[in-house]
Amino acid sequence: MKRLLASWLFILLITCVPALSQASAKDEKDINGVVKEFGQAIVNRDKPGFIKLFMNPSVTWQSVLSDESLAQIKKRRPDAVKAKYQKDLNANRFIDGIVNSKNTSEETFSNIKIDTDGDVAVVSFDYSFLSNGRKTNWGKECWLLVRTGEGWKITTLAYSVIYPSEAT
């Protein structure tokens, strides 16, 4: 009886694991696609393409300055804070700034990590933001996504900000 049960469990395991792996690979591919579309929408100044990546484009984003960047800013603005809530910092404001700028913009991504159960996902990566080809800031970015009937959508976005050191 134990051998029959062990055999049955083994068969169940080898038939289910490939299906789980395939679903995870598809999810990772789809989520990587969201990251790629995010970057392309910035380069192409594609507001509709950018906004469709979000569950709600008015969801607040949260930034946090590195200690070094905060110290630099405090030299000019002593009241600056490390992490300030700004209700108007969101996808609409971000892409509008890019669309309305005379400068070219690009955001690059590296070290992308995805953790998902197929319905929710956390994505983190290193980013660099470029204006006219010059790196203006960089850091770590994290997204929370949900899988909807229309695909993966970003629900939350938080990122650290590191500015280049001031010339001494």
**Alpha carbon of 40 to those of 27, 30, 37: distances in Å?**
20, 15, 5
Q: Is residue 74 exposed (0-12), middle (13-18) or buried (19+ Cβ within 10 Å)?
A: middle
Q: Mean pLDDT, to the nearest integer, of 32-53?
A: 98
Q: Name the β-bridge partners of 146.
A: 120, 153
Residue ranges of domains in the chain, CATH in brackets: 2-161 (3.10.450.50)
Task: Tell me the per-residue pLDDT of 64-96, one tens digit each, with 9 for 90 and over.
Answer: 999 999 999 999 999 999 999 998 999 999 999
Q: Mean pLDDT, to the nearest integer, of 57-62?
A: 90
Q: Residue 148 CA to chain centroid, in angstroms?
A: 17
Q: How far apart are CA 148 and CA 120, in angstroms?
A: 10
Q: How far apart are CA 23 and CA 65, in angstroms?
A: 37
Is the pTM for the entire model greater than 0.95? no
pLDDT of 1 reads: 53
Q: Mean pLDDT, to the nearest integer, of 130-148?
A: 97
